[in-house]
Each structure stands twice: as structure tokens, then as C-alpha cells.
Chains A and B, each alone.
Chain A
Amino acid sequence: GAGVSQSPSNKVTEKGKDVELRCDPISGHTALYWYRQSLGQGLEFLIYFQGNSAPDKSGLPSDRFSAERTGGSVSTLTIQRTQQEDSAVYLCASSLGQATNYGYTFGSGTRLTVV
């Protein structure tokens, strides 16, 4: 597609439930990133996929968080047993190659509210 697409745009869930957030990157972009933006905070790196390489999961805050990328394209971020502190905007970005050279193209994000 023309841009990075994320769904849903808003999600309200009850504490303890699992949620899945979807990201559809720009066609041909080999790199895909997930970040979290909490109220009044900067962007917190979560996970990075590059082509068929093993993902860099170093930013995932706990084992309740996981992500996968199928066929080198669409990615799903899953949060199990959600907690109120998981409330944030989850941003997906894709890049043609190394972020050093190209920067990112971001999606509009999914606003997650855990009640």
C-alpha cells in the first residue's frame, strides 16, 4: 500500500484480556519496527524485524509481549493478560533498509486503553 497501515486505530480492553495489534508495512520495505508511546513519554522501542533474520526483541518489556511477522510482510503484536500500564499508543514503522540511511515511515498507531 501507499503507507503503513495499522489496525485497529483504537482498542479498549479489560484488564487480563489478550489483544492483537496489526501492522501492514509499505510493500517492499524489509525492516519493520514496533514502538510504544505512553502519555507524556517519548517513543520506546519494542521489537525490530529485518527480512528473514531473527527479530531483535530487546525492547519488549515483559514476556506478555510477543510479535511475529509473516511472510516478511504483515506483523502482529500480541499482548497477553493486559495490564493498565500497557495503555499507550502502539506505533509501527517500516523502512526500506537500515534506519541509519532511510529513517522510518510510521503508521498512525493503535491507541490501546486497558480498563
Chain B
Amino acid sequence: GDSVTQMEGPVTLSEEAFLTINCTYTATGYPSLFWYVQYPGEGLQLLLKATKADDKGSNKGFEATYRKETTSFHLEKGSVQVSDSAVYFCASSSGSARQLTFGSGTQLTVLP
């Protein structure tokens, strides 16, 4: 079945630092890929998605590119803010699966 592996946290950065959170997947066929964010005390929110190879999803300064050759969907942001502190989840959904498969989440803390 599908699986998603993302880098373990916690990740602590200073404000304006560059962020990368690695995510790799295994799936049958060509999955759609997602990043979700969970701010403290809130539910998960869709951050960005990509549905085919070489697509780049972007939102709120975050980007991730669907790399079929490396089966990766790494999340990046050029300059993080304190308000980006949250847990980030990578997820995949292949055509044969009717639900999303999530990674274990990466806790990000941004210090002022």
C-alpha cells in the first residue's frame, strides 16, 4: 500500500531562516501529493497540493515540487516567520486508494 515518510522533528529555526521539510512517498501509479498544516489548537488545513509530476504547489510563501524520479515532495519556504510555527503533514493519494495516507508530521518552531 501507499506510504509517506517525512523528516522527523522537531525543527527549530530562527525567523527569516530557510526551511526544508523532506517528504518521500511510495505508491502504486501516480499519486496526488499534499501538504497539510496544523496550527496549535486547530484542525489540519490544506496548505498546497500537486497532482502530477513536475507540478509545483505553492501557498503562503511555501512551495513543493512533485518529483517523480526521486518520489519526493519536499516543502520549502525561503524566509519563515514565527507565525509558521505548526505541525506539517505530507500526504499522498493514489488513484486506487480512496483515502489520503499521511506522514507522521514534523513539528516546526520558529523563534523570533
Contact = CB atoms under 8 A, between A and B. Distances in A.
Contact of B93 (A91, A100, A106, A107): A100
B99 A56 contact: yes
- Which size class do B's interface residues fall under? 20 to 34
B100 A48 contact: no
Contacts of B103: 42
B26 interface: no
A50 interface: yes
Interface residues of A, number: 24
A51 to B, nearest CB: 12
Interface in B13-45: 31-32, 34, 36, 42-45
23 contacts: A31-B98, A42-B103, A42-B104, A42-B105, A43-B89, A43-B102, A45-B101, A56-B98, A91-B44, A98-B93, A98-B98, A99-B93, A99-B98, A100-B31, A100-B32, A100-B93, A100-B95, A100-B97, A103-B34, A103-B93, A104-B46, A107-B43, A108-B42
